[in-house]
Amino acid sequence: MITPLTTLVLVTTFGAAMFATGAIQGRADTLERFLVAKRSVGLISGALSVAASWIWAPALFIAAQKAYQQGLPGLIWFTVPNVGCLILFAFLAARIRRVFPHGYTLPQYIAARFDSRTHRIYIFTFLSLQVCALGVQLIAGAALLNAMSGLPYVAGVLILAGIFTSYSVIDGLRASVRTDVFQMIVIFFGMAVLIPLAFHNGGGLATLKAGLSGVSGNFGNPFDPYVAYTFGITVTIGLMSGPVGDQQHWQRAFAFREGQAFRGYLLGALIFAVVPLAMSIPGFMAAGNPQAAPGVYAGTLSAQQVGPEVIRTLLPPWGMLIFMVMILCGLASTGDSALCAGGSLIAVDIYQRYMAPDAPEEHILRISRLSVLGISALSVAIALIPGISVLSLFLFYGTLRSSTLMPTLVLLFRKNIPPWGIFWGVALAILLGLPAYLFGQMTGNTGLRVGANIGIVLISLTLPCLAAALRTRSGAR
């Protein structure tokens, strides 16, 4: 345990460093600067920002957990879709810059092509995701800080929200990108210090090899069908839809310098891949050496805590301080991105489109800033609801993301889709898929969860394609 006072000092110092990094270039004075960083983000800084914004704090735990529980196949199913979705988005980022070069959001492009009803359902899914994503960061972050140090949960929520909001409201996406670069450097530094020491002190290569089949020793096949069915299919659908259904990544696509978005996302995928691969090593060490994670083996800690437990057991006390800073980086990288993305959606897709189409730029910029503050306050309120959980929010916004995956892919590459195909594809996927998935999750029915995920994809693909085919057939007549 780290003392609450030490944690408070560490978090406050981290927040001050993030504020200094994010606000160093002053207050954004134009909408282009605040929402899309003047469309001037370079290859390296953009790639680091892509990687950082795709890391959220529990992801630093899950790689170790899957390696510990399901060995190499668990790690493969966690890592490959995580990297693959960013590679897929590289093509979409390049595409949106060609067809909508001066845009700010994907729903704005939807509005330019389709009707208001289709635009509104995209706004609902995209904006709900940002609020829930920030809520997840606050809930998970405050709970982790409480578990690791005893810092009160409410204090953790308020402090984290204050950190994310402080620089986001000043310089928008430019601040987010600058802090992303800083955070990725810190995460890589932390892994470079912690992982080799955990590997050495835990027994080295022999222990690592012993843990490749998981703690039970039953997962020696890298393509284990049980892991694929119970974990791989669901997580692949969820992850592949992640960037596509998330304004955080469309905003970064619009922010890259012209011609840099494709390469930026490919490089970002490679940078991100290092994180789960490195963070899986403590999980393998624990699977191969019971002494590396005594709390997990004794059942006093959950398998999700195997990574920090290995660091706590095998490293000096300062190892946990470094790990806590890495967690803060993971939280901040997604938290500030959600604020910037939500601000762009409210200002451009709600205020400018439906409330004040002729509003001057300074008014829209002011609304963007107020939106950042409003989303932060709403997410804090959600995080403070008694009994609220990361899982409940994650399941909700994960289903929303999945429902827009196939319609977005189709509409970006086909021109003859009528609006009703996109609208009903998304709407029915949510109305039918979300209850089925939630029921499967609550009852522990793996078959229902897998079926619901596949159903969401099929429904949301079939309706747009059917609508396009009917329009083509009608035109041929």
Q: Are residues 340 and 444 in the same domain?
A: no
Task: Name the domain count of the chain.
Answer: 2
CA 327/CA 152 separation, integer angstroms: 17
Q: Are residues 466 and 371 in the same domain?
A: no
- Res. 474: pLDDT tops 80: no
The verdict on residue 98 lying in a domain is yes
Q: Which two tokens stand for residue 54?
A: 């795709």
DSSP 272-290: HHHHHHHHTHHHHHHHH-G
Tell me how many degrees the CA angle 68-69-74 measures, rounded to the nearest 5: 90
CA 221/CA 228 separation, integer angstroms: 11
- Which distant-in-sequence residues (6+ apart) come within 8 Å of 448 by Cβ? 436, 437, 439, 440
More confident residue, 146 or 83: 83
Q: Are residues 249 and 133 in the same domain?
A: yes
- Res. 183: pLDDT tops 80: yes
Q: Are residues 127 and 219 in the same domain?
A: yes
- Residue 400, pLDDT score: 81
Q: Are residues 26 and 135 in the same domain?
A: yes
88-143, pLDDT tens digit by residue? 999 999 999 999 999 999 999 999 999 999 999 999 999 999 998 899 889 988 98
- Res. 477: pLDDT tops 60: no
The verdict on residue 394 lying in a domain is no
Q: How confident is the model at residue 431 (pLDDT cuts 50, 70, 90)?
A: very high
The verdict on residue 172 lying in a domain is yes
Residues forming a β-bridge with 450: none
Q: Are residues 378 and 436 in the same domain?
A: no
* Mean pLDDT to the nearest integer, 36-48: 96
348-371, pLDDT tens digit by residue? 999 999 999 999 999 999 999 999
Q: How confident is the model at residue 230 (pLDDT cuts 50, 70, 90)?
A: confident
Last-in-domain residue among 387, 406, 431 = 387
The verdict on residue 393 lying in a domain is no
Q: Are residues 439 and 349 in the same domain?
A: no
What angle do helix axes 306-314 and 318-344 make, rounded to 10 degrees? 150
CA 197/CA 121 separation, integer angstroms: 49
The verdict on residue 134 lying in a domain is yes
Q: Are residues 39 and 179 in the same domain?
A: yes
- Residue 2, pLDDT score: 81
Q: How confident is the model at residue 20 (pLDDT cuts 50, 70, 90)?
A: very high
- Res. 12: pLDDT tops 90: yes
CATH of the domain at 350: 1.20.1730.10
- Cα 29 versus chain centre, distance: 28
- Res. 1: pLDDT tops 70: no
Residues forming a β-bridge with 256: 41
Tell me how many degrees the CA angle 133-148-160 measures, rounded to the nearest 5: 35
Q: Are residues 436 and 331 in the same domain?
A: no
- Res. 57: pLDDT tops 80: no
258-291, pLDDT tens digit by residue? 999 999 999 999 999 999 999 999 999 999 999 9
CA 61/CA 308 separation, integer angstroms: 8
The verdict on residue 116 lying in a domain is yes
Last-in-domain residue among 352, 387, 422 = 387
* Mean pLDDT to the nearest integer, 404-421: 92
- Residue 391, pLDDT score: 61
Residue position matching structure tokens 């983000």? 41
Q: How confident is the model at residue 166 (pLDDT cuts 50, 70, 90)?
A: very high
Residue 458: which domain range?
A: 414-477
Please provide residue 103's backbone torsions phi and psi, each rounded to the nearest 5 degrees: -80, 170
CA 66/CA 76 separation, integer angstroms: 9
The verdict on residue 405 lying in a domain is no
Please provide residue 125's backbone torsions phi and psi, each rounded to the nearest 5 degrees: -70, -45
Q: Which two tokens stand for residue 406?
A: 């196939």
Tell me how many degrees the CA angle 247-243-53 measures, rounded to the nearest 5: 80
- Res. 253: pLDDT tops 90: yes
Q: Are residues 315 and 437 in the same domain?
A: no
Q: Are residues 112 and 75 in the same domain?
A: yes
The verdict on residue 302 lying in a domain is yes
Share of the chain above pLDDT 70, in %: 98
Q: Is 79 helix (H, G, I), strand (E, B) or coil?
A: helix
Phi-psi sector, 203: left (phi>0), alpha (psi -120 to 50), beta? left
- Among 6-10, 182-186, 251-255, name the one with the lowest average pLDDT: 6-10
69-88, pLDDT tens digit by residue? 999 999 999 999 999 999 99
Phi-psi sector, 115: left (phi>0), alpha (psi -120 to 50), beta? beta
Q: Are residues 103 and 138 in the same domain?
A: yes
Q: How confident is the model at residue 305 (pLDDT cuts 50, 70, 90)?
A: confident
- Res. 339: pLDDT tops 80: yes
CA 19/CA 167 separation, integer angstroms: 5
**What is the torsional sign of CA 417, 419, 424, 427?**
positive
Q: Which two tokens stand for residue 226?
A: 């049980």
What angle do helix axes 59-99 and 233-240 make, rounded to 10 degrees? 40
